Amino acid sequence: MIAMDALWTFALMVGLLTLTPGLDTALVLRTAALGHRRRAWGVVLGIQSGTLVWGALTSLGVTALLTASHLAYETLRWAGAAYLVWMGGRLLWATWRRSVDECPKPTGSGAETKTGKGAGDTLLGGWRQGMATNLLNPKMGAFYVAVLPQFIPADASPLAAGVLLAAVHILLAVMWACALITLAQVLRDRLQRPSARRVLDRVTGTVIAAFGLRLALGQ
């Protein structure tokens, strides 16, 4: 099976990748900050389900075909870019529309906080969002194609070894998600203020849309 030193090296590599601020971090932090605890965990489970799929497909050689096929890669890249731009744009549009709707309301009415806690707080909805975000990112598949085979011994089962390595990645990502969700819960009261929520949504929407544009431009 995989040697312990190889497992530690892989864990260090994907651990640093997990800690790097990016799309997953922004999505989990924003969802949890709005008080959508169940949906936040759904997003985490969806992202990690996608990671497990990428690990299994890479072990079976499927993602190598994806990166080798220009048409398949470009199709997935444009689909992922369109999804991210749409998701980020929808967040930005919602903040601008919310700003207009709140203009005549007195400060401290509490309407925003009530809406934020109850709307869309479902595990399944978060899982779908996280899964789609992960699987529509061909860079994830390209990363696994470049890294995973280096850690799979020649005498080991590719599928079993690939799933084991993906599980290490998932474990570290879930630990990081626990820290993010805990932080968001601590700051929830502040982050659920109308002004803070607008800023949070605008930052998150900009980050997500920017990732989509970078993906579309092939950067």
Please give the pLDDT value at position 113: 40
Which of 9-23, 56-70, 90-104, 203-217 shows the lowest mean pLDDT across its residues? 90-104
Q: Please count the structural domains in the chain.
A: 1
pLDDT in tens, 7-24: 899 999 899 888 887 888
Higher pLDDT, residue 115 or 174: 174
Q: Does residue 13 form part of some domain?
A: yes
Strand segments (E) across 31-151? none
pLDDT in tens, 133-186: 898 887 787 788 888 888 888 888 888 888 999 999 999 999 999 999 998 888
Domain interval for residue 199? 4-98+115-216
Q: Does residue 197 form part of some domain?
A: yes
- Those residues whose C-beta lies under 8 Å from the C-beta of residue 212, and which sit 6 or more positions away, are 80, 81, 82, 83, 84, 85, 86, 87, 88
pLDDT band at 106 (very low <50, low <70, confident <90, very high): very low
CB 37 within 8 A of CB 25: no
DSSP-derived letter for residue 106 is P
Q: Does residue 209 form part of some domain?
A: yes
Note the pTM of the prediction, 2 decimals.
0.75
